[in-house]
């Protein structure tokens, strides 16, 4: 069933740079593509890829160099030339892992073992956050909007200082959260009075309108309600947005997802899953009361669930998903005609990356397409039962079990057949891996290539390699 197209408001693409940060040349190609797809702005989450200076220099990535000041400026310049707004996202409360993981910053944690949450009672914590923001704002000339994060503030209220604070009559964890965010928002407004402040909404979902009103946060921030699920509950989401509106927050944002929200280790996204999320968001937008001003939607593309988790899907394999989601918003549906438009825009036969075929050999409309293709090919091989469960096949379990290996009581004839099959699979995998490596190094730093291979390929190849080595050792002892 068709919904009205996405109402007036910006369509932002979120680039999560805390994992697999694209080389700046590839970022430029992506911005060109986003412009053709109808994107109005970028939500840039730099984390440790920002070129922090002075006392914050330790926050810069060590696995690969952070972007240079010139590169950060070049991305903005190109985006602006395409009519896109750039909005930096700087975490200021939760998901501070990239800051608080450092021993020098560990005293600012809410709990010693929780490296994500900032202690809200320390003035130096607010000073740290404001210095991070100052450096980011300074490197974004003409900036009008800041996203201050503030989602998933785990373990809040569990620290000793928080427990003392909460011991006073009438104080709650909700108030503790709101007091810190309000303090940060006021400091931002004092430093940059013109600045629009956006924040994630999840920590406020259970709060009453009266609690929100009493916090002093109303009028300072614009909540961004995020839900990435294909079965997003429309009524519940509408009632949440209406609640924020009733508290006096009439300017609101939505956040959907084109990748990085299926599972923490997904390698290849399902376009249909993400399209369904956007179809639900269209229903939400169509159901809101007239007084709510939906400023726009951020189409998120998470690269990690948090700074210390594994890599999610890389951007190239998710570009068909992004294009499909944008066209769904523009048309209010994902009909066969819309699917055909997406495929034509990208120069492919299908929006599902696992079955897409190229229409032409050389097509600049899909930057990174060759990498997407070889990742899909490798992923298909990695997930075949014959390879993934090789150690459980009848011959390995029957003639080369751990018991037999340990005692060298093996049948050379059968074990050599096992060796031959394992070696064949290893050769296929190595060929596919080299094809992926060759394409990936052109778009990503070497550290990303190495991490991706170690996460996705080595765990599958290692058992095959062990078996071939063990068979060689056993047979050498048994055959003169």
> Does 262 fall in a domain?
yes
> Between β-strands 109-111 and 85-88, what pairing exists: parallel, antiparallel or unpaired?
unpaired
User: What are the residues whose beta carbons fall under 8 Å from the beta carbon of 90, sequence distance 6 or more?
Assistant: 46, 129, 132, 133, 136, 146, 147, 148, 149
**Do residues 260 and 300 touch, judged by C-beta distance below 8 A?**
yes
Q: Supply the CATH number for residue 267's domain.
A: 3.20.20.80
**Domain containing 298: what range?**
10-352
Confidence of residue 1 (pLDDT cuts 50, 70, 90): low
Do both 340 and 435 map to the same domain? Answer: no
Do both 70 and 22 map to the same domain? Answer: yes
pLDDT tens digit string along 252-270?
A: 999 999 999 999 999 999 9
- Pick the last residue of a domain from 306, 334, 352: 352
Contacts 24+ apart (CB under 8 A), 183-189: 183/126, 184/92, 184/93, 184/126, 184/129, 184/130, 184/148, 185/148, 185/217, 185/220, 185/221, 186/216, 186/220, 187/126, 187/130, 188/130, 188/133, 188/146, 188/148, 189/220
> Does 426 fall in a domain?
yes
- Pick the last residue of a domain from 352, 375, 398: 352
Share of the chain above pLDDT 90, in %: 84
Do both 314 and 444 map to the same domain? Answer: no
Do both 314 and 419 map to the same domain? Answer: no
The rounded mean pLDDT for the chain is: 94
> Does 364 fall in a domain?
no
Confidence of residue 363 (pLDDT cuts 50, 70, 90): low
Q: Is the pLDDT of residue 355 over 90?
A: no
- Pick the last residue of a domain from 298, 333, 352: 352
> Does 424 fall in a domain?
yes
Do both 321 and 469 map to the same domain? Answer: no
Mean pLDDT for the stretch of residues 200-219: 97
Say what the pLDDT of residue 404 is: 87
Do both 394 and 315 map to the same domain? Answer: no
> Does 2 fall in a domain?
no
Do both 315 and 396 map to the same domain? Answer: no
Do both 129 and 211 map to the same domain? Answer: yes
Q: What count of residues does the chain have?
A: 480
> Does 391 fall in a domain?
yes
Is the overall model pTM greater than 0.85, yes or no?
A: yes
Count the neighbouring beta carbons within 10 Å of the beta carbon of residue 311: 20
Say what the pLDDT of residue 359 is: 53
Do both 105 and 189 map to the same domain? Answer: yes
> Does 373 fall in a domain?
no
Do both 88 and 211 map to the same domain? Answer: yes
Do both 189 and 253 map to the same domain? Answer: yes
Distance from C-alpha of 105 to C-alpha of 109, rounded to nearest angstrom: 8
Instruction: Name the domain count of the chain.
Output: 2
> Does 146 fall in a domain?
yes
Do both 337 and 399 map to the same domain? Answer: no
Catalytic residues: 152
pLDDT tens digit string along 39-98?
A: 999 999 999 999 999 999 999 999 999 999 999 999 999 999 999 999 999 999 999 999
**Do residues 323 and 351 touch, judged by C-beta distance below 8 A?**
yes
pLDDT tens digit string along 166-187?
A: 999 999 999 999 999 999 999 9
């Amino acid at each position: 069933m068709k919904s009205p197209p996405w109402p007036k408001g910006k369509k932002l693409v979120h680039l999560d740079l805390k994992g697999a940060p694209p080389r700046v040349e590839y970022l430029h190609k992506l911005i060109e593509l986003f412009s053709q797809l109808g994107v109005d702005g970028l939500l840039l989450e730099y984390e440790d890829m920002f070129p922090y200076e002075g006392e914050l220099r330790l926050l810069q990535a060590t696995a690969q160099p952070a972007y240079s000041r010139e590169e950060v400026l070049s991305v903005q310049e190109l985006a602006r030339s395409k009519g896109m707004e750039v909005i930096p996202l700087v975490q200021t409360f939760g998901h501070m892992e990239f800051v608080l993981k450092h021993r020098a910053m560990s005293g600012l944690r809410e709990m010693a073992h929780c490296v994500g949450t900032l202690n809200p009672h320390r003035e130096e914590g607010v000073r740290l956050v404001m210095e991070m923001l100052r450096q980011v704002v300074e490197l974004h000339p003409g900036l009008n909007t800041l996203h201050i994060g503030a989602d998933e503030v785990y373990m809040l209220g569990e620290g000793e200082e928080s427990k003392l604070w909460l011991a006073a009559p009438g104080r709650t964890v909700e108030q503790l959260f709101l007091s810190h965010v309000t303090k940060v928002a006021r400091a931002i407004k004092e430093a940059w009075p013109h600045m629009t402040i956006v924040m994630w909404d999840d920590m406020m979902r259970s709060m009453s309108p009266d609690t929100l009103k009493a916090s002093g946060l109303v009028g300072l921030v614009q909540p961004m309600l995020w839900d990435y699920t294909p079965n997003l509950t429309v009524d519940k989401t509408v009632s949440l947005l209406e609640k924020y509106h009733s508290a006096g927050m009439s300017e609101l944002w939505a956040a959907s997802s084109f990748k990085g929200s299926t599972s923490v280790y997904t390698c290849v996204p399902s376009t249909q899953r993400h399209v369904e999320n956007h179809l639900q968001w269209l229903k939400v937008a169509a159901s809101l009361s007239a007084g709510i001003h939906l400023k726009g939607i951020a189409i998120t593309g998470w690269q990690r669930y948090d700074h210390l988790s594994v890599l999610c899907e890389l951007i190239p394999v998710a570009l068909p998903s992004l294009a499909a989601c944008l066209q769904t918003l523009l048309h209010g549906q994902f009909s066969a005609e819309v699917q055909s438009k997406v495929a034509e825009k990208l120069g492919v036969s299908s929006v599902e990356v696992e079955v897409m075929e190229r229409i032409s050999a050389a097509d600049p409309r899909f930057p990174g397409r060759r990498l997407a293709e070889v990742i899909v090919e490798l992923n298909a091989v990695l997930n075949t039962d014959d390879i993934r469960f090789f150690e459980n096949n009848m011959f390995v379990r029957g003639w080369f079990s751990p018991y037999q290996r340990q005692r060298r009581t093996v049948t050379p004839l059968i074990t050599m057949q096992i060796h031959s099959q394992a070696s064949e699979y290893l050769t296929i995998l190595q060929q596919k891996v080299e094809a992926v490596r060759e394409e990936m190094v052109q778009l990503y730093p070497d550290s990303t290539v190495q991490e991706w291979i170690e996460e996705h390929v080595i765990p599958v190849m290692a058992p095959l390699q062990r078996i071939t080595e063990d068979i060689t050792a056993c047979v050498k002892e048994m055959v003169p």
